[in-house]
Chains A and B, each alone.
Chain A
Amino acid sequence: MNKAGFKICLSLYLAAVIFLCAIIGYIPAVTANAATQDSYYSDITATSGTQLLGQLHDIITTTHDTYTSYDDCKDPSIIKKTDAGSNSNSVMEFYSQADISSTWGSGAVGTWNREHVWCQSLSNGMWGKSGGGGDLHHIRPAESTLNSTRGNNKYGVVSNGTPVYYKDSSKQPVALGGYNGGGTFEPLDSVKGDVARIVLYVYTHYNTYSNVYGTTNGSGISSYFGTLKFTNIMDESSEDSAIDLLLEWNDIDPVDDIERNRNEAVYEIQGNRNPYIDNENYADAIWGDGTVDPQPLTLNKTTLQLSVGQTETLIATTTESGTVGWTTSDPSVATVSGGKVTATGEGSATITASIGGYSKTCKVTVTNTVAVDVTAVTLKVGEQRRVTATASGTVTWTSEDNSIATVDNGLITAVNRGKTMITVTCGTAKTQIAVTVIDENAGPTQSITISMQSFSNVSKYDFYEWNEEGVSGVAYLYKNGDKMQFNVSKSAYYLASTTPMPGRIVSVTVTLASGEDREWKLLTSDTPYGEESPAPTKGTDHGTKTVTTAGATWNIETTDTYFSLNYALVANSGVCYLDSVTIEYEVGGSTPHTHTEVTIPGKPATCTETGLMDGKKCSECGEILVEQQIIPVIPHADNDNDGMCDMCGKEMSVTQYTVTVSGGTIGDTGKNTAIVDVGQSVTVIADIPAGKSFSGWSADGGATFVSKLQTYTFTVTGDVVLTAVYDEVSQSTTEQFVAAVQSIESATGNSEKFEAINNAISLYNALTDEQKASVAAEYMQLQTAVEQYNEFVNDVNTQSANALQGVLLSTAFMAAALAAFLFLLEQKLL
């Protein structure tokens, strides 16, 4: 038998022995002893060792809601609850368990003091007057003499030690509190368990945990507990002997009602418990050879965060037989089936797993999600852009400023130059898209910023002139450091320009320096403002905005070059401190106006030149409103039969033909009609419009092409009419997409529906933004179809995954005792 085989055999033997021993009761089951543990320790799944220690650490730290201070540990209102003595004027002294006057003595003999059971000086700096140094589970009242006599001696066993007494104010011994000897302090036997359980609590709570994984309740395991060592506080040569002594003290002095009551009292204050008092078997289970019973029912999670439509499966582990039942407190928020939680709507719900009279809950919080495919867009005035939102529910779209850009179900339309935000909302979830609208016709913008620096010699509330980069104005204000101070005490508080801005005003931004947000009104005019009281009211009213330290901006469309910012005319109260006023103006560019149409006269075609139809343009800005259409060259005519063209006089003896092209030009003439002598070579060039593709030159206007070359040269043998044929790319692709979406509905079978949807997506992704905008309604149908299809897919896949999981759960025999079986088989032992 080789070494590995021997190990396997031995393991099997030991396993069998343990199994048999368990059956006949050689290993006594250790059970929890406090009903209160059921809820507090419900997440404990480990039964022994460092995993149990890690889980206890998780519980007592995460439930430690209130960290009391070192001062709290002498607060009479707290001490009365935690360490009450036999009467209302006494507290229980820790080491002697005797009454002591409740009067706080701060060190006087016969009065009590605060005792760190695990001395601060032996904590490796882990606590001072907070944290472990203010934990009521740890700090205990001790008579001052006894406390100072124990000092920072470690705990241990003392031979022939000196008795240490709790003494009264006349220094007479009142009660024995322990023994000192050789720098070691040994508590009374009746207190040793108390000391041990406090030391274990402190170690479990405040040690430095390294290498912890799964730190949430239930799976915390620490392979290394760093800073605190039991030998820090126990006068023993090794950790093993230190813990042995603590386990011995835990055994010889069992938990009593004093400890239990105190544990409850501290729990009420701090929110956490000393687990070694609740279950004195924990110590032996962690550091000794004992175990504690596993929980009859646990859930792998106590909270879940899901978005609408999302699913997650809770796993219940139970020692009970039967099937775990699942319920939800609110199916409109979350449903549950076999542990699988499906988020159905926003809100909170409680999922309950039950079996054999036990139940566990998991709080589910459901929110919506919404995301967009773009977070910032820049558009020209009049331009549109469709934004796609991916959300867990119905989406609403709103624009903060419809004068800049509007939005309709994801289709953003740029209205005027400026900036605004589009908000996309799904339930409580929302996201935003920053929209910048530019005006191609506009010139560049510049700005001036007016601040207190723009004024001089301001000494009281009065009218003052401001000057900034060649622009001047007036304001009725006062100076407050660097702030412009306005008030409501006089109706003249305003700030206006008296000379024109270099261009039309496009925006005004006012920023508060400090103080409360205030209302300001903006007026603009094409004539100057001046010193006026009350404040001026002339011009165009651009409304009132609330000015904050983040600034408020009026984006305006005007030709005005003067402004007035008015404080006094708005319903404000009190002083307003402004940091700055920034005026943005346009330099050059076209001024917004209503076009005035005038006719561009056309001219008739001749036999040698093409003509032009009438067009239209704006008389103010010159913008072409109606393009002039070309009139083809007309044929020569020789009505008087003199051999000459009646119009141009050209000799008609040479046979000539007319070449007419549509959708292109003849050579580099820029014309689309020419009279050409027979036999002459002519080149026509197709003028391919944007967004279209050239198919060929057609002589019959149909799909029969004489050439597919964009530049086509031929010899004239007769009258020629050529039409450049272009593929209506955008049109046909759009139609294909619409047809594809319509085909989804009629698809039979899921695979056919899959193909139809996939085809529609491919077609949609190939569309231009403009084309996408034109098929918004069909795209919505596609989105709905995808959502419904994916719901179906998710349902089928989930059922399949659950089925696989269910089968795999019962496939353990493949892994269990394989090595042993193989070995025995190879050795022909089986």
Chain B
Amino acid sequence: MKNKFLVFILMICLATAVLVSGCDIAPADAYEVLSDMSKCAYPSFSLNVVTVYKGETLSSQFTVTNDGDKSVVEYSVEQLTEISLTQPADGYKTTISGSVTVENGNITEQNGESVDIDFKQIGNVGFNFKREYFDTASFSEGKFTATIRATAQFMGNSTYEYKNMTVEVNYGTAFEKIVLSYTTAEGATVTATYNFG
């Protein structure tokens, strides 16, 4: 009786997963495939963000490892070093590194140096691949490239203004690599590279 109940639940779960996930399902609309992939949970991935502003290039790396409701983000953020009149600075650039554990949207542990980034905001939004969000878009085998018209809708947030945004996605049954490029309202060019694997 117990096994039958479990099988029943499993079947319902499968049906539900088909409805809400689609990670290994091939929908008719390729955009839905990408949107579904962005809803998938990836056990780990890395993110490299390169910002160029006023001639200065700053590079930051994030490695995200997920475990249940918990995500561990190891970060390494490059910044220009401020100068103090009382203490000479060590180097032109400073790299701030550490790790943050986020559970259910709350930071439960933080190690290393503090960085002015709200890790708690990592939640509840993701890339949205809808046909109407793109100006130009092309699919080739395992690759999607596009220029993005509705940047806020694509990014899932309207906190920041994104301009000249392009995206290049390599995918198989899930994302393999995403390269996102854009310009901020203040003129900084940003290239974010996600590697999933």
Q: With A806-B184, A815-B71 given, is the CB distance from A797 to B79 under 8 Å?
A: yes
Contact call A811/B68, Cβ cutoff below 8 A: no
Contact call A808/B55, Cβ cutoff below 8 A: no
Q: With A6-B6, A324-B158, A797-B79 given, is the CB distance from A813 to B68 under 8 Å?
A: no
| CB of B8, distance to nearest CB on chain A (Å) | 11
When C-beta atoms are compared, the residue in chain B nearest to A816 turns out to be B41
Contact call B156/A803, Cβ cutoff below 8 A: no
Interface size range on B against A: 35 or more
Contact of B9 among A13, A812, A814 (CB under 8 A): A13
B80 within 8 A of A: yes
Interface residues of A in 298-326 (CB under 8 A from B): 315-316, 318, 321-324
Contact call B121/A803, Cβ cutoff below 8 A: no
A789 within 8 A of B: yes
| CB of A409, distance to nearest CB on chain B (Å) | 15
Contact call B13/A12, Cβ cutoff below 8 A: yes
Interface residues of A in 482-511 (CB under 8 A from B): none
Q: Which of A355, A790, A792, A830 has the most CB of B within 10 A?
A: A830
Q: With A13-B13, A761-B85, A818-B66 given, is the CB distance from A806 to B92 under 8 Å?
A: no
Selecting from A399-407, A426-434, A751-759, the interface stretch reads A751-759
B111 within 8 A of A: no
Contact call A830/B122, Cβ cutoff below 8 A: no
In the complex, per-residue mask of A2-19: 1 if CB is within 8 Å of any chain B CB, else 0? 000010011011011101
When C-beta atoms are compared, the residue in chain B nearest to A758 turns out to be B88
Contact call B9/A792, Cβ cutoff below 8 A: no
Q: With A761-B83, A805-B121 given, is the CB distance from A813 to B51 under 8 Å?
A: no
Contact of B162 among A10, A15, A321, A806 (CB under 8 A): A806
Interface residues of A in 218-274 (CB under 8 A from B): none
When C-beta atoms are compared, the residue in chain A nearest to B152 turns out to be A323
Contact call B47/A807, Cβ cutoff below 8 A: yes
In the complex, per-residue mask of B69-103: 1 if CB is within 8 Å of any chain A CB, else 0? 10100000111111111111100100000000010
When C-beta atoms are compared, the residue in chain B nearest to A830 turns out to be B24
Contact call A813/B42, Cβ cutoff below 8 A: yes
Q: Which of B79, B83, B124, B155 has the most CB of A within 10 A?
A: B83
Contact call B160/A819, Cβ cutoff below 8 A: no
Chain A binding surface, main DSSP class: helix
Please report the C-alpha to C-alpha distance between residue A822 and residue B14 in the assembled complex, in whole angstroms: 14
Please report the C-alpha to C-alpha distance between residue A805 and residue B162 in the assembled complex, in whole angstroms: 12
Contact of B102 among A6, A388, A815 (CB under 8 A): A815
When C-beta atoms are compared, the residue in chain B nearest to A20 turns out to be B19
Q: Within 8 Å CB of A789, what residues of B?
A: 83
Contact call B102/A758, Cβ cutoff below 8 A: no
Contact call B122/A812, Cβ cutoff below 8 A: yes
A782 within 8 A of B: yes
When C-beta atoms are compared, the residue in chain B nearest to A355 turns out to be B158
Contact call B53/A339, Cβ cutoff below 8 A: no
B107 within 8 A of A: no
A732 within 8 A of B: no
Q: Within 8 Å CB of B45, what residues of A?
A: 814
Please report the C-alpha to C-alpha distance between residue A15 and residue B16 in the assembled complex, in whole angstroms: 9
In the complex, per-residue mask of B120-152: 1 if CB is within 8 Å of any chain A CB, else 0? 011111110000000000000000000000001
Contact of B85 among A13, A388, A812 (CB under 8 A): A388
Contact call B16/A12, Cβ cutoff below 8 A: yes
Please report the C-alpha to C-alpha distance between residue A19 and residue B39 in the assembled complex, in whole angstroms: 15
Q: How many A-B residue pairs have CB under 8 A?
A: 237
Contact call A799/B68, Cβ cutoff below 8 A: no
| CB of B57, distance to nearest CB on chain A (Å) | 10
B113 within 8 A of A: no
Contact call A793/B81, Cβ cutoff below 8 A: yes
A36 within 8 A of B: no
A810 within 8 A of B: yes
A358 within 8 A of B: no
Q: With A19-B20, A821-B40, A821-B41 given, is the CB distance from A813 to B127 under 8 Å?
A: yes
When C-beta atoms are compared, the residue in chain A nearest to B189 turns out to be A803
| CB of B94, distance to nearest CB on chain A (Å) | 9
A801 within 8 A of B: yes
Q: With A12-B20, A793-B81, A830-B24 given, is the CB distance from A813 to B158 under 8 Å?
A: no
Please report the C-alpha to C-alpha distance between residue A786 and residue B81 in the assembled complex, in whole angstroms: 12
When C-beta atoms are compared, the residue in chain A nearest to B43 turns out to be A822
Contact call A315/B88, Cβ cutoff below 8 A: no
Q: Which of A1, A794, A796, A817 has the most CB of B within 10 A?
A: A796
Q: Which of A758, A793, A810, A817 has the most CB of B within 10 A?
A: A810
Please report the C-alpha to C-alpha distance between residue A821 and residue B20 in the assembled complex, in whole angstroms: 11
Q: With A819-B69, A829-B17 given, is the CB distance from A809 to B121 under 8 Å?
A: yes
Q: With A9-B13, A812-B125, A818-B43 given, is the CB distance from A758 to B83 under 8 Å?
A: yes
When C-beta atoms are compared, the residue in chain A nearest to B60 turns out to be A804
Contact call A811/B122, Cβ cutoff below 8 A: yes
A762 within 8 A of B: yes
B157 within 8 A of A: yes
Please report the C-alpha to C-alpha distance between residue A789 and residue B89 in the assembled complex, in whole angstroms: 13
Contact call A796/B54, Cβ cutoff below 8 A: yes
| CB of A782, distance to nearest CB on chain B (Å) | 7
B64 within 8 A of A: yes
Please report the C-alpha to C-alpha distance between residue A806 and residue B121 in the assembled complex, in whole angstroms: 10
In the complex, per-residue mask of A495-531: 1 if CB is within 8 Å of any chain B CB, else 0? 0000000000000000000000000000000000000
Contact call A824/B17, Cβ cutoff below 8 A: yes
Q: With A338-B161, A786-B85, A819-B41 given, is the CB distance from A796 to B126 under 8 Å?
A: no
Contact call B159/A339, Cβ cutoff below 8 A: yes
Q: Within 8 Å CB of A824, what residues of B?
A: 13, 17
Contact of B64 among A12, A17, A750, A814 (CB under 8 A): A814
When C-beta atoms are compared, the residue in chain B nearest to A750 turns out to be B56
Contact call A809/B125, Cβ cutoff below 8 A: yes
Contact of A820 among B41, B71, B115 (CB under 8 A): B41
A337 within 8 A of B: yes
A765 within 8 A of B: yes
Q: Within 8 Å CB of A797, what residues of B?
A: 58, 79-80
Contact call A803/B122, Cβ cutoff below 8 A: no
| CB of B4, distance to nearest CB on chain A (Å) | 13
A783 within 8 A of B: yes
| CB of A829, distance to nearest CB on chain B (Å) | 6
| CB of B43, distance to nearest CB on chain A (Å) | 6
When C-beta atoms are compared, the residue in chain A nearest to B185 turns out to be A338
Please report the C-alpha to C-alpha distance between residue A649 and residue B66 in the assembled complex, in whole angstroms: 105
Contact of B158 among A322, A757, A821 (CB under 8 A): A322
Contact call A819/B68, Cβ cutoff below 8 A: yes
Q: Which of B13, B20, B42, B186 has the most CB of A within 10 A?
A: B13
Contact call B39/A806, Cβ cutoff below 8 A: no
Interface residues of A in 360-381 (CB under 8 A from B): 373
Q: Which of A750, A754, A811, A816 has the most CB of B within 10 A?
A: A811
Q: Within 8 Å CB of A12, what residues of B?
A: 13, 16-17, 20
Supply 4 further A-B pairs (C-beta < 8 A) apart from A813-B41, A819-B67, A829-B17: A355-B158, A754-B89, A801-B77, A812-B122
List 25 contacting pairs A-B, 8 Å CB cutoff, sorted by A. A6-B9, A9-B13, A321-B152, A754-B89, A758-B83, A761-B87, A790-B83, A793-B82, A794-B82, A795-B54, A799-B53, A800-B60, A802-B186, A804-B51, A807-B180, A809-B121, A811-B64, A811-B194, A813-B126, A815-B102, A817-B21, A818-B43, A819-B69, A821-B23, A822-B43
Closest 6 A-B residue pairs measured CB to CB? A818-B41, A9-B13, A821-B41, A806-B160, A813-B126, A818-B66
Residues on A lying within 8 angstroms of B by beta carbon are 1, 6, 9-10, 12-13, 15-17, 19, 315-316, 318, 321-324, 337-339, 355, 373, 388, 390, 750-751, 754-755, 757-758, 761-762, 765, 782-783, 786, 789-790, 792-797, 799-822, 824, 829-830
